Structure 1
């Protein structure tokens, strides 16, 4: 049938079919243009980068740097993120592999044998770092090894700079914390970034310590990786070879500038290990505003291989425990400010109270002692007598004034207006447990000497000394002072803050009196083991009896300041779960820390 013989209806039908085909073709063309050109780097509501993903399909990549911010000390010395040189092997077709002569040269430089290299390189499916140690850390190449391997110009072996987030020998591990995978928390905190494709559920985020507290700043804007481009047959694509892929943002990663002194921190941790301290903590604060100079915790742990079932990663400087006689400082402050004891009044210590099974550590008794002498000798009988004149409410009031019942670390609102705490998982202190009869005389006697339900953290203890050194004014200690962009420009500032205490503060006169009494603890009392220190020191000892399962254990404490004439630092130490028969390690540790600080400032007054 000829076209001109078609009816008008049939002609119209054919025309519509042709028009539909043309429109469909145009639609496909437009869609392809839209995908491949207009939105190739931000396709769909999830901002999927199609160019990047098409490249990923034909490349083999290895992350060299996470892009996570660096944590540094007050002198800008790195605490995390050491950069080391390492060897990477890429999986390519066997016909492009190493020749025997090249293998011989490579293994000689690496100081290994051919069998070791063959076992490593055979059947690689993904880029692999040569040699790992201590939880997957790359084996670091020397400068000579790096230069020699680069000179070989091998087809599938490269020398690269790679980030070791937690280098061997790093310090302040519990304070810094660790990163790890936590898909639930990623969704809780960063669900919008996940939906936009900017973050994977498997992305490592802060799991503890500063890594967790400051995660939203430290996360960065992307990782740096090295990629090796191949075709479907694992043959290298000519002209592409291995290349670096990085975010290209000059502002990131950021620097988290702490108040720590890396040198002091490192020496304190070495001292704790030398003394054989199995479990405990030490805190050093500046006397003026309470900035944390060092914060150490034992036992130690490997942040690259975290055993969450173990407590070794927990920062004991922020965990509350029985304080023993260092709590007598709170009782003495209440007695002085409330004037319930006269300076010349004496209490007769015969070694035991005669009821409640309450005794003094000195079984034969101290005899008659004033409150001042009772503080120096840490007499339990004296403080039991003083506590009879104080109510539970008054004791709680002064515990609050000295900042030992609540979290004391720096908190506030950042530029993002979010409430924020610098210290991760800081414990509050405690005076009485929930169902303890507070007005019971026996309970109050035990409470007065820091036993029964009383709990305090080492940070609260050292900060209490800072409060006394500032005439009763309490501060919220910082451990991070500033965050900077990579350019050095300020991103976030954390100013010095006073501790918000509703109960007010103790008087300056009482503060001075207690500081003088701390001197007497060293010159005449339980702290005489400090007399040979480089500085003249002052402080208060404490031994708390605790129950660990069926075993009776003790916490050994010492808190104080130095040098006495021009105080620069407040220090607290606790050795936890010690056998009662073991020698005191708190005083040697306190003395050693103060000697470390004295060596940092040799011109300081004695």
Structure 2
């Protein structure tokens, strides 16, 4: 058989085809080399990290610690972030599951039952933490339980240390606040970090309280997580089973050192609960420089599970409400400083004024009273008559001088020149409503006794006492004194600062006079229930009528200081929206708080 000889043209065509195939093979091989070896960390114009993503596909991770900074009291005792030992369970191939014997041993160690355990691990797709019987927080394990679980050598469970950001029994919950997901705020506040991958839209940030106002510092530099690497069949990869991933920085997370006393805070809250206070607040300030020692609000809430529709997370110590007769302190300050009332001048109270339907709380009247006696007895008629000698502008000026219309919490520039308000969502006070005629005599009389449109926060009320104790020149109360690195080196310091008002100050002589009158409130007036307190105390009571829907309610107040010979603390308490028939709880609460402070002082805290 003769073989056909190829022409030179045909040979050339075959050569070109073979060359093309060879070049395509070289190109494909080169591309695969580039993808798999040379460009694993930056492939395509989108910068896709193939090596990282190939690992992520096999990785199952669980966050153990948010990396947020700690919040401490003045004695450096932690108020957030308790560390607990917890059991992490990873999804795993059925053939690698524990034997019935091992399961029985494990459920005995966990103090649960086989049914609960099998229901927990059934169809597990992501790493999960074994939780307490109520299904809430991660179950805290003892050292002994950890040893026993480790001894079982199970491939899909591991005891780890986890942060319980908001532990059971935590105090100052409304002041500390909470964290949560808020993609819009993440984009607005941390847009640059979002682009760099330092934060994600799902990153939890401060939603209220100190967690919100100090989020820039508290959010830290990264989470601590445990990762478990498996193949497509959910089998652990040799040498890549469970490993911890955490930021390697000795300076973080930071420490937020507050002015709070955790022991006092806890006792104050226990007392509020013992008195069954449903709605209310209490504030304790040091007289020396106005620092907040305790700030409590009721009702309480769980910061780990926040119902935003509820107002239980709202800090009532910073919310303005009707003050009633504690506002008479402002009227008395204006009358004394402006000299519109003579020292021995008397006013007659017959129980009613005779117009505007204005009455005194004492229906039969007090008879003749000086302004000093009217203050001690909290006589409405006396203050209505005094208000007839004052103008709305004068009253407003003195309300500003005593800080009851302004946000008084610490505000200033940080080292980065950022303006910081330490207290989240602090409200201003109010004298007149937007549509209220300021010069109406009936309106002014109601205003003089802290009714009508007058509003004040418990913090403004306690800080007014601090202001008087400093001869009219008060402080802007701090709740955070400094921020420290994990090494305890100070990052930021917030120095005490005076409360500067544009209206000047109440005179020193008027301040001293009002403080003396507050002593008479206890010895002869409406605060006689404080006579048997551990310290000798002074203060001013208040009862304000409010409306909740169509129901009349009462705000019960007491503000004051102690001990009277060497004042250490100013305290304000309010019990909101009580039924008019309910007994007064403001005085027992004030007394109890002062007794707590007296005991703490005697024990050297």
Change (3 A) 1:186 1:554: same
- What is the match of residue 379 of structure 1? 379
Q: Secondary structure at the match of 2:199?
A: coil
- What is the match of residue 447 of structure 1? 447
Q: C-alpha displacement at 1:252, in angstroms?
A: 1.1
1:404-442 Cα distance to aligned partner (Å, 9 max, x none): 101100111212222221111111000001111100100
Check the 8 A contact 1:48/1:197 in 2, yes or no: no
1:36-88 Cα distance to aligned partner (Å, 9 max, x none): 26x59xx977x876544332211111111111111111111111111111111
User: Equivalents in 2 of 1:19, 1:311: separation in Å?
Assistant: 71
Please state if 1:474 is matched with 2:474: yes
Q: C-alpha displacement at 1:181, in angstroms?
A: 1.2
For structure 2, the residue ranges without an aligned partner over 5 or more in a row are 1-5
Please state if 1:292 is matched with 2:296: no
Q: Secondary structure at the match of 1:405?
A: coil
- Report matched runs for 1:351-362 at 5 Å: 351-362=351-362
User: Equivalents in 2 of 1:50, 1:218: separation in Å?
Assistant: 32
Q: C-alpha displacement at 1:20, in angstroms?
A: 10
User: Equivalents in 2 of 1:504, 1:44: separation in Å?
Assistant: 63
Change (3 A) 1:184 1:550: same
User: Equivalents in 2 of 1:6, 1:236: separation in Å?
Assistant: 56
- What is the match of residue 460 of structure 1? 460
Change (3 A) 1:50 1:214: farther
TM-score, normalisation: structure 2: 0.94
Q: For structure 1, which segment, 516-525 or 126-135, has the greater mean C-alpha deviation from structure 2 after superposition?
A: 126-135
For structure 1, the residue ranges without an aligned partner over 5 or more in a row are none
User: Equivalents in 1 of 2:449, 2:8: separation in Å?
Assistant: 112
Check the 8 A contact 1:135/1:305 in 2, yes or no: no
- What is the match of residue 428 of structure 2? 428
Q: C-alpha displacement at 1:551, in angstroms?
A: 0.7
1:173-195 Cα distance to aligned partner (Å, 9 max, x none): 11111111111111121122222
Check the 8 A contact 1:135/1:304 in 2, yes or no: no
Q: Secondary structure at the match of 1:138?
A: coil
- Report matched runs for 1:155-554 at 5 Å: 155-554=155-554
Change (3 A) 1:28 1:71: same
Q: For structure 1, which segment, 565-574 or 488-497, has the greater mean C-alpha deviation from structure 2 after superposition?
A: 488-497
Q: For structure 1, which segment, 354-363 or 242-251, has the greater mean C-alpha deviation from structure 2 after superposition?
A: 242-251
1:191-245 Cα distance to aligned partner (Å, 9 max, x none): 2222222222111111111111111111111111111111111111112221111
Change (3 A) 1:513 1:53: farther
Change (3 A) 1:349 1:114: same
Q: Secondary structure at the match of 1:520?
A: helix
Q: Secondary structure at the match of 1:139?
A: coil
User: Equivalents in 1 of 2:99, 2:238: separation in Å?
Assistant: 20
In structure 1, which of residues 25, 36, 39 is the aligned counterpart of residue 40 of structure 2? 36
User: Equivalents in 2 of 1:516, 1:53: separation in Å?
Assistant: 73
User: Equivalents in 2 of 1:130, 1:14: separation in Å?
Assistant: 63
Please state if 1:602 is matched with 2:602: yes
Please state if 1:80 is matched with 2:80: yes
Q: C-alpha displacement at 1:143, in angstroms?
A: 2.2
Q: C-alpha displacement at 1:131, in angstroms?
A: 2.3
Cα RMSD for the two superposed structures: 2.4
1:557-590 Cα distance to aligned partner (Å, 9 max, x none): 0000000001000000000001111100000000
How many residue pairs end up in the alignment?
Answer: 599
- What is the match of residue 3 of structure 2? none
User: Equivalents in 2 of 1:375, 1:71: separation in Å?
Assistant: 42
User: Equivalents in 1 of 2:507, 2:48: separation in Å?
Assistant: 63
1:126-145 Cα distance to aligned partner (Å, 9 max, x none): 11111246673111112221
User: Equivalents in 2 of 1:377, 1:482: separation in Å?
Assistant: 43
1:148-197 Cα distance to aligned partner (Å, 9 max, x none): 11222211111111111111110001111111111111112112222222
Change (3 A) 1:49 1:572: farther
- What is the match of residue 118 of structure 1? 118
Q: C-alpha displacement at 1:147, in angstroms?
A: 1.8
1:245-276 Cα distance to aligned partner (Å, 9 max, x none): 11112111111111100000000000000001
User: Equivalents in 2 of 1:213, 1:304: separation in Å?
Assistant: 18
Check the 8 A contact 2:553/2:577 in 1, yes or no: yes
Q: C-alpha displacement at 1:29, in angstroms?
A: 5.7
- What is the match of residue 104 of structure 2? 104
